[in-house]
Amino acid sequence: MLRLGPMHGAVVVVALPLFEEANRTRAAAIDVLRRLAERGIGGALPDLPGTGESLIETRDATLADWRDAFADAAASLGTLAFAMSWRGGALVDNDARLAGRWHLAPLSGTDQRRELDRLRKLGGDADYAGNLLSPALLDQLAAAAPLTGARVKVARLEGDPRPADVLLSGRSLWRASEPAVAPALQEVIATDLANWIAICAG
């Protein structure tokens, strides 16, 4: 688990977008954590089972594994934890005990499954953009939904017609052909997230 910023006080735990979108957005999400660290807020980015440095194969991962691992990562920090979940990552933070959740362009499980099916067709039906996924995981994702409620803030990019608490100006980094960063967007995210933490913690 990557850990940045103060070891005490509020800490933001990141749930990256799923699959190939995680590779495109990891650097941007880490930059947000660095900006939060400058504001005195800690950050953590765990590698979930079947992702990053995990020894588990992606094809052996389940949504329950991801939720358990994310919840365990948040609990292990021993402090006031908040989620920053992007896209399909908003399907992962459900079981964690958190003081608040900040979701960027969250996907429903149905939308996530549709994205995966689109990628598979583009790749000739061989895999999902290089990922071998189990039928069980695909079924679990299709039935999943992000949490909603008073302690959940939904941010979307301008032009996205779906319901949101705040609209941000910037481009969809998860759609880029290569991993990318957008400093202006990352600064806006860090500022809005820091303000949300202050509201939830106050």
Which CATH number covers residue 171?
A: 3.40.50.1820
User: In this predicted model, which residue has the larger pLDDT, 54 or 17?
Assistant: 17
DSSP letter, residue 58 = G
Strand ranges, E, within 113-157: 152-157
Q: Which residues contact residue 116 at a Cβ distance below 8 angstroms, ignoring those fewer than 6 apart? A: 19, 128, 133, 138, 141
Spatial distance between the Cα atoms of 4 and 65, rounded to a whole number of angstroms? 24
Spatial distance between the Cα atoms of 186 and 167, rounded to a whole number of angstroms? 14
pLDDT of residue 126: 64
The answer to whether residue 7 sits within a structural domain is yes
Query: Does an H or E element contain 85, and which?
Result: strand 81-86
Q: How confident is the model at residue 100 (pLDDT cuts 50, 70, 90)?
A: very high
pLDDT of residue 134: 87
Residues of the chain with pLDDT > 90, as a percent, come to 75
Q: Which amino acid is at 20?
A: E
pLDDT at 59 over 90: no
How far from the centroid of its chain's Cα atoms is residue 154's Cα? 12
Cross-strand partners of 117: none
The answer to whether residue 131 sits within a structural domain is no
The answer to whether residue 126 sits within a structural domain is no
Count how many domains the chain has.
1
Joined together, the tokens standing for residue 46 give 């765990």
* Averaged pLDDT, 36-49: 96
CB 75 within 8 A of CB 93: no
The answer to whether residue 136 sits within a structural domain is no
pLDDT of residue 52: 81
Q: How confident is the model at residue 122 (pLDDT cuts 50, 70, 90)?
A: confident
Q: What is the pLDDT of residues 123-169, one digit of tens each?
A: 667 676 677 888 899 899 999 999 999 999 999 999 999 999 999 99
Spatial distance between the Cα atoms of 141 and 62, rounded to a whole number of angstroms? 9
Q: Work out the mean pLDDT of the chain and round it to a whole number.
A: 93
> CA nearest 43: which of 55, 30, 54, 56?
30
C-alpha dist (Å) from residue 116 to 19, 32, 75, 90: 9, 26, 30, 16
Q: Is 94 exposed, middle or buried (0-12, 13-18, 19+ CB in 10 A)?
A: buried
Q: Order of strands, edge to edge, in the sheet holding 2-4?
A: 2-4, 42-45, 11-15, 81-86, 100-104, 152-157, 166-168
Q: How confident is the model at residue 96 (pLDDT cuts 50, 70, 90)?
A: very high
The answer to whether residue 114 sits within a structural domain is no
Spatial distance between the Cα atoms of 111 and 149, rounded to a whole number of angstroms? 20
Strand ranges, E, within 87-164: 100-104, 152-157
* Averaged pLDDT, 173-186: 93
Domain containing residue 11: 2-108+148-201
pLDDT at 50 over 90: no
